Structure 1
Amino acid sequence: MTTDTSLSQSAGQPRSEPISLWDRSSEEPTYANPLTQDARVDVAIVGGGYTGLSTALHGALKGLSCHVLEAAEIGHGGSGRNVGLVNAGLWLPPQQVEQMLGKVHGGALVRELGGMPDYVFSLIEQYQIRCEATRAGTIHAAHAASGLRDLEARAAGWQALGAPVRLLSAGETAEKTGTAKFHGGLLDARAGTINPMGYARGLARAARAAGADISTGTKVRALKKDGADWKVETDRGVITAGRVVIATNAYSNDLWPGLAQSFTPIHFFQMATQPLGAEAGSILPEGQGLWDTGKIMFSLRRDQAGRLIIGSMGSVVGGTEGLTRRWAERKLRRLFPDLGALEFADAWHGQIAFTPDHLFRIHRLDEGLYSPVGYNGRGITTGTMFGRALADLFSGASEDSLPLPITDLKPDRGRAVKTQLYRSAFLAKQAAESLL
């Protein structure tokens, strides 16, 4: 199975194949329910991913009437194509976040993000979300000596905050990963892995049980201010709301002028093998997920059926039998030369919203209209956090309580050039490594 990031399917039309392995293997059932009539709510939410569903769940728990409007299906964007690593923190080390945002805002954000894996796993437990939750930590692996130096600085920053992170030697990393190719690693005991589509669907189920409405197959066409209210015009009717959240992140389009131009979109692809037997038992035997320190990073994890899922920046080329398959097979064989025959059953990619400084943003686009954006590949914890924070805001908290200050909407300068350069670099690396 091969999928891409297209969102061009007609609203309400069933798709012909799953969008990812996670879609196909999720124990949480899909949900389809197009909008059938106009309605008035406290909060209208555009986008049925982690941010939108978390906003709906937490808003409904606070007594707000919430309605999620999703053009395709729950988790159809980045949430259902995610790697599934439940990581603490940002792309950046904690010291750098404090330097960029200041001790007060930066420190508060680092502490909140450090606790978000606990919160995500608590939601999974509370609502019995069937998403293959595994709390064994994650490993940030050093691809080179320079990567190990970076991990040493990250470890010092987190340990100064009392976080349960531990720097691994090359030998310890080999024991936990099954390969001696890494120079060391950073083990974060707060983190873990999930089926990301299962988590999204479970949030949707919990939100509906709490009283939120969710309409799938319903495309939002326009947002119009109408006095103190917003008119959310869809292809199936109009929702009137006091507050609106655009929760589309990397899948933002021209619904609001300038939003899609505020970040650079990049692709991240993944390939999954068929379930492997005992010969793969030494690979990540404790169940951690892994990503490396390379500038063009790659990720590796297992699911509960014993599949290996490997990915990197870029798009799938040639499905399960083309260039990307050759890259994946050669990469795995360099890491694990004793692996037997490999068959790949799934290949897919999704989009990540990259910001110039690798910090996410929260924009107040107009009175009562908010949009968090630029998650830089950390959607599970960040989207859950922003949804909870927005529900608090709409329930009476001040904007000062948000995880970081409101910022003005600004274009990511050079976005078009950077997008093309990234695509070319990712493709070149994939091609070069497929020949090694």
Structure 2
Amino acid sequence: MKTKMHIAQDTHGLWGKTAINAPATLPLDRQLTADFVVVGAGFTGLSTALHLAEEGARSVVVLEASEIGYGASGRNVGLVNAGAWIAPEELPRRLGPVYGKRLLDTLGNGPEQVYSLIARHGIDCDPVRHGNLHCAVSASGLALIEERARQWRALGIPVDLLDAKEAAALIGSDQYTGALRDSRTGTIQPLSYVRGLARAAAQLGVQIFTQTAVVSKQKQGGAWQLCTSTGNIVTAPHVVVASNTRQERQSDAWPQLQNDATRVPYFNMATEPLPKLLRQKILPQGQGAWDTATVLSSFRLDLAGRLIYGSVGSLTDWSRGTHRDWVRRAMTRLYPELRDVRIEHAWHGWLDVTASHLPHLHQPDDNVWAFGGYNGRGIAAGTVLGRELAHVLTGRMNVADMSLAPSAIRPQSFKRARELLYEAGSVAAHAVGARF
């Protein structure tokens, strides 16, 4: 049965209403010793834990400060995309030919790993794999997707470059100058997916504790002792930190990781289920979509025919109305038939954006690993990089063969100012956007 668990619908919107049950969990109520402890029950943490268990790890513990999928893993639009946020040829330029090619291959194969994992564990998360559409806004947007198509094809990836007429047939609107379709990609219900990862991990013996924040740590006898908000300690020689950046001021065992990325707010709104005729017009083949606008938009249908429309911005008391009005205007510009359709759900989360627009791998202490900074590509990246880290921790892979080399933590300059600028800038953009 599909229902919400502890997560409120006002934080996770449509996903909180329609997600599958999470496995039953409780706060940590005792002292524990484990081989591996994972901090964070999102895509990366649960993929790491699940693959550790599949590789035969005897004792794996996951500690989550809130609930499974509470952060960005349970709030995003659900596009399973391939590659990085930046163009393919940028990866070897920024990381060098060896790591650039490895990461490009790993992220390019990410959707295949996601959908294979869903099938292997029978995760009920509404998987659809008909490709996603990168929609061009104006001539400059068309030039951008044309160049991306050229770069992917040079790597042997058969992406489709659609002209305005072809794009209109798949989008159901003639507002775009073209689109890039990547058949490797698709959509899922993200909160159901992350809960499904947790259920699969728990069935393999992983112990998951929620409402259990890690507040401090100490090293003793070659093992880490993680002190938690429940007053209990987990001791393990190996630690994986897979938690998002956040704004709350609270204790943290490795606070330096919080400065590695800028936290960019992103909201989604969902309509009521659309009539059958509208479903047959809007994204009729089931693709997800996003555009090339500076303040980008994303949109897709869920399996019940609700249109989910999102963009940069948070839904605070002072900004919610501006963003909601913009969504109404933007949707009806694309699809005039939606003028009187009700918006039934609204929620927001965040993206962790790094200076390089690439994910980072850090080792903030001995035998402590941390992935982060997916720049809006967390579903596939978190899944495959968590799997890769599990292979390293169990000895199946050497560190030198990973897709990312461990790097130093470089705090972003004026981080909080940047975050406030994104939030205020999105309100300003949406106050005037889609009016003409």
Asked if these proteins are the same fold (TM beyond 0.5), I'd say: yes
Superposition pairs of residues 296-375 of structure 1, within 5 angstroms: 296-317=295-316, 322-375=321-374
Distance change >3 Å, CA 365–CA 208, structure 1 → 2? same
Cross-structure match for 1:388: 387
Q: CA offset at residue 434 of structure 1?
A: 6.5
Q: CA offset at residue 414 of structure 1?
A: 2.4
Q: Within 2, Cα distance between the matches of 1:293 and 1:435?
A: 18
Deviates more, 1:183-192 or 1:410-419: 410-419
Q: CA offset at residue 339 of structure 1?
A: 2.8
Q: Within 2, Cα distance between the matches of 1:44 and 1:259?
A: 17
Superposition pairs of residues 13-412 of structure 1, within 5 angstroms: 14=6, 17=9, 19-20=11-12, 21-29=14-22, 31-64=24-57, 65-236=59-230, 237-251=232-246, 255=252, 256-281=254-279, 282-317=281-316, 322-396=321-395, 397-412=397-412
**TM-score w.r.t. length of structure 2:** 0.93
Contact 1:279/1:340 (8 A) holds in 2: no
Cross-structure match for 1:418: 418
Superimposed CA distance per residue, residues 233-285 of structure 1 (whole angstroms, 9 cap, x where no aligned partner): 11221100111111013348651132111111110000000111034220101
The one-letter amino acid paired with 1:125 is A
Contact 1:46/1:69 (8 A) holds in 2: yes
Contact 2:6/2:67 (8 A) holds in 1: no
Which structure 1 segments of 5+ residues have no match?
1-12
Secondary structure of the corresponding residue to residue 295 of structure 2: coil
Cross-structure match for 1:5: none
Q: CA offset at residue 376 of structure 1?
A: 0.5
Q: CA offset at residue 30 of structure 1?
A: 5.4
Deviates more, 1:315-324 or 1:145-154: 315-324
Secondary structure of the corresponding residue to residue 245 of structure 2: helix
The one-letter amino acid paired with 2:394 is S
Superimposed CA distance per residue, residues 179-229 of structure 1 (whole angstroms, 9 cap, x where no aligned partner): 111010100000000000010000001111111110111121112211310
Deviates more, 1:336-345 or 1:265-274: 336-345
Q: CA offset at residue 388 of structure 1?
A: 0.6
Aligned structure 1 segments of 4 or more residues deviating by more than 6 angstroms:
none
Superimposed CA distance per residue, residues 327-360 of structure 1 (whole angstroms, 9 cap, x where no aligned partner): 1111011111133521111101101111112011
Q: Within 1, Cα distance between the matches of 2:77 and 2:22?
A: 19
Contact 1:327/1:434 (8 A) holds in 2: yes
Which structure 2 segments of 5+ residues have no match?
none
Q: Within 1, Cα distance between the matches of 2:413 and 2:217?
A: 26
Q: CA offset at residue 29 of structure 1?
A: 3.9
Secondary structure of the corresponding residue to residue 250 of structure 1: coil
Contact 2:245/2:257 (8 A) holds in 1: no
Identity of matched residues, %: 42
Contact 1:329/1:342 (8 A) holds in 2: no
Superimposed CA distance per residue, residues 261-319 of structure 1 (whole angstroms, 9 cap, x where no aligned partner): 11111100000001110342201010000000112111000000100000001112559
Superimposed CA distance per residue, residues 7-64 of structure 1 (whole angstroms, 9 cap, x where no aligned partner): xxxxxx9555453211210134454322121111111111110001001000011122
Q: Within 1, Cα distance between the matches of 2:95 and 2:307?
A: 38
Secondary structure of the corresponding residue to residue 336 of structure 2: coil
The one-letter amino acid paired with 2:298 is S
Q: Within 2, Cα distance between the matches of 1:66 and 1:58?
A: 10
